[in-house]
Amino acid sequence: MTKNRKLIPPAIVLGVLLIVVAIVYFVDNAGALPSFFPGHQAGSTHHHAKHGIAALLLGLGCFVFAWFQSGPARPADA
């Protein structure tokens, strides 16, 4: 896997955004979600916790990706 340090800032930004999205899903019910969020349903009191978990996992994945990109530059993957 070749390293590209230019990818670190966008990966961190994306990770933070996804964590924020996850928190919104955990805190707000479907009726209170922003209308552009998947799962938004006016008047619904259902919590889309699974959407939140998905966003959280993706966010953590972005952080892990950034962490590996910040490592030593020698190629490690054939």
The residues of the shown chain that bind other proteins, judged by CB under 8 A, are 1, 38, 50-51, 53-54, 57-58, 61, 64, 67-68, 70-72, 74, 76-77
Cβ nearer to other proteins, comparing 13 with 76: 76
Shortest spacing between CB 18 and other proteins, in angstroms? 12
CB of 43 to other proteins, least distance (A): 19
- Please give the full DSSP string across the chain, using - where no structure is assigned: ----GGGHHHHHHHHHHHHHHHHHHHHS-TTTS-TTSTT--TT-----HHHHHHHHHHHHHHHHHHHHHTS-SS----
